[in-house]
């Protein structure tokens, strides 16, 4: 009985048992910590891969392609998430378990189904990473409690979405107009933008009876409606009833463009006042060009470096009859000066190349560097038909009374200017090409950002 009543050594037994429990808990904490660390690494890598994939959406025709897969795979290598190239699986909406690091890329997110607000939007790229994570202590504890397999592996999943930060719906290709300040200076300004929208980064001003049809109309800063209250017409997507304020400031989407190299003198550079029926050739123009009243001048396809303005006077026409897209287009680069439609009834019909050629960038039609603050004016009763981008990062585009401008997309349709001045009774029409059409290179304006 003395043996049974002897309590000496009881604390040792209890301590031993408690120590086992504590060590088990510590072991599980180590496993859980390792899993959380790897999960964070995978999420960071998925974010980077989604951004890399989204930046290739335009080049891939709004579907997955080799460029997108390569960009996303390189992002994993750069994040040191893996030391070997991972070949993605395209367009897969279910996520299977994987014994090694695997990646899925979907253009038009589908993994979450209709619960995802970006579900099916092919302006958005979805990346999913999966990997089997080994455990040590959890497996040992499983064996200790009679589970021969233990908890030796866990399947980790990380998902991210990225796309154009100002896309509001699946029926939009992004910004047709980016400006630091838009001012409807008087009444009856009419903007019709099909498949795209407006971003104003400054102090928006509107006036009586102005109207805008667009996928969206976003502005930062302030909005001064003036006489617009109750008389303006807004036909916008996503249930917007007027321009919407945003705190997300967008930087100039074309600021990273590299300026082209000045070419040799054009063979027609000395023809600064061409006669009716003249055809000008691409190259360097040291003194600009003046089209006197009532003449019709043609531009041969190619790259034009202007060290002075192209002035188009009353009743004159400037066209490019050989511009059909592809490499057959014109880019007017104004180191100084600008394109000026100076008086009534002038007409301009120009198309940019839809592929990079002659040292210039694809889809660039009228281009001023940031060192050029010259403004471009489209005057009273003028008619303009542009296919391409008007880019003036330090200049103002002015539409004077009664001006009519139509930009039809063949690769890109956009105005990117420091200031946009809209005077009385103008009609400005832009049609952007939706993904899935015959055009190879949809618009690339916009800042790409993580969406989920």
Entry pTM:
0.63
In the structure, what pLDDT confidence band is assigned to residue 120 with cuts at 50, 70 and 90?
A: confident
In the structure, what pLDDT confidence band is assigned to residue 289 with cuts at 50, 70 and 90?
A: very high
CB atoms inside a 10 Å sphere around CB 184: 29
- Chain segment 334-358, per-residue pLDDT in tens: 999 999 887 666 788 888 887 776 6
Confirm if 150 and 143 have CB atoms less than 8 A apart.
yes
- Residue 443: what pLDDT? 41
End-to-end CA distance of the chain: 71
d(CA 61, CA 101): 27
DSSP state of 64: -
In the structure, what pLDDT confidence band is assigned to residue 165 with cuts at 50, 70 and 90?
A: very low
Confirm if 156 and 39 have CB atoms less than 8 A apart.
yes
Phi first, then psi: what are they for 44, rounded to 5°? -60, -40
- The answer to whether residue 179 scores a pLDDT higher than 60 is yes
- Residue 54: what pLDDT? 82
- The answer to whether residue 444 scores a pLDDT higher than 60 is no
In the structure, what pLDDT confidence band is assigned to residue 170 with cuts at 50, 70 and 90?
A: very low
Mean pLDDT, range 262-275, rounded to an integer: 94
- Residue 18: what pLDDT? 58
Cα dihedral across residues 172, 176, 179, 181: positive or negative = negative
Percent of the chain clearing pLDDT 70 (strictly above): 76
Tokens 């992002």 belong to 75
- The answer to whether residue 91 scores a pLDDT higher than 80 is yes
Confirm if 355 and 326 have CB atoms less than 8 A apart.
yes
Q: From 179, 126, 119, select the one nearest 399 (Cα to Cα).
A: 179
- Chain segment 236-246, per-residue pLDDT in tens: 876 788 898 88
- Residue 231: what pLDDT? 83
Q: Determine which helix (DSSP H) or strand (DSSP E) holds 310, and give its type and residue range.
A: strand 310-312
Phi first, then psi: what are they for 407, rounded to 5°? -120, 115
The least confident of 124-128, 152-156, 213-217, 306-310 is 152-156
CB atoms inside a 10 Å sphere around CB 164: 26
- Residue 354: what pLDDT? 78
The encoded tokens of residue 340 equal: 């000026």
Residue partners of 350: CB distance under 8 A and separation at least 6:
299, 318, 319, 320, 323, 330, 332, 365, 385, 386, 387, 388
In the structure, what pLDDT confidence band is assigned to residue 438 with cuts at 50, 70 and 90?
A: very low
Q: From 330, 378, 382, 384, select the one nearest 358 (Cα to Cα).
A: 330
In the structure, what pLDDT confidence band is assigned to residue 167 with cuts at 50, 70 and 90?
A: very low
Residue partners of 442: CB distance under 8 A and separation at least 6:
58, 61, 62, 173, 411, 412, 432, 433, 434, 435
- Residue 130: what pLDDT? 92
Q: What is the mean pLDDT of the chain?
A: 79
Cα 38 from chain centroid?
Answer: 31
In this structure, the chain runs to a length of: 452
In the structure, what pLDDT confidence band is assigned to residue 408 with cuts at 50, 70 and 90?
A: low
């Amino acid at each position: 009985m003395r043996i049974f009543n002897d309590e000496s050594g009881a604390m040792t037994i209890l301590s031993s048992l408690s120590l086992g429990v504590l060590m088990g808990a510590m072991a599980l904490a180590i496993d859980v910590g390792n899993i959380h660390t790897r999960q964070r690494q995978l999420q960071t890598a998925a974010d980077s891969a989604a951004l890399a994939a989204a930046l290739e959406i335009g080049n891939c025709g709004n579907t997955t392609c080799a460029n997108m897969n390569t960009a996303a795979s390189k992002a994993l290598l750069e994040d040191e998430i893996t030391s070997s190239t991972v070949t993605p699986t395209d367009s897969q909406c279910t996520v299977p378990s994987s014994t090694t690091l695997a990646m899925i890329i979907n253009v038009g997110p589908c993994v979450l189904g209709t619960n995802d607000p970006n579900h099916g939007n092919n302006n958005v790229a979805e990346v999913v990473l999966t990997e089997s994570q080994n455990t040590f202590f959890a497996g040992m504890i499983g064996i200790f409690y009679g589970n021969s397999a233990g908890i030796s592996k866990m399947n980790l999943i990380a998902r991210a979405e990225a796309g154009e930060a100002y896309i509001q719906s699946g029926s939009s290709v992004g910004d047709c107009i980016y400006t630091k300040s838009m001012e409807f200076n008087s009444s009856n300004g009419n903007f019709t933008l099909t498949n795209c929208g407006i971003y104003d980064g400054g102090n928006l001003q509107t006036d009586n009876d102005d109207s805008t049809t667009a996928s969206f109309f976003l502005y930062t800063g302030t909005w001064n409606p003036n006489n617009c209250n109750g008389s303006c017409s807004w036909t916008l997507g996503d249930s917007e009833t007027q321009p919407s304020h945003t705190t997300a400031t967008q930087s100039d989407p074309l600021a990273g463009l590299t300026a082209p190299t000045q070419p040799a003198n054009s063979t027609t550079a000395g023809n600064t006042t061409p006669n009716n029926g003249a055809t000008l050739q691409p190259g360097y123009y040291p003194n600009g060009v003046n089209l006197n009243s009532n003449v019709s001048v043609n531009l041969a396809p190619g790259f034009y470096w202007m060290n002075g303005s192209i002035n188009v006077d009353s009743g004159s026409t400037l066209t490019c009859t050989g511009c059909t897209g592809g490499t057959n287009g014109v880019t007017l680069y104004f180191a100084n000066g600008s394109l000026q439609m100076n008086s009534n009834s002038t007409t301009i019909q120009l198309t940019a190349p839809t592929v990079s050629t002659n040292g210039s960038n694809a889809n660039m039609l009228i281009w001023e560097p940031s060192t050029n603050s010259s403004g471009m004016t489209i005057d009273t009763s003028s008619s303009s038909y542009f296919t391409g981008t008007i880019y003036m990062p330090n200049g103002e585009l002015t539409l004077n009374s009664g001006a009519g401008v139509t930009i039809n997309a063949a690769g890109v349709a956009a105005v990117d200017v420091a200031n946009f001045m809209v005077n009385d009774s103008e009609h400005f029409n832009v049609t952007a090409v939706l993904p899935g059409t015959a055009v190879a290179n949809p618009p690339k304006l916009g800042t790409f950002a993580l969406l989920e």
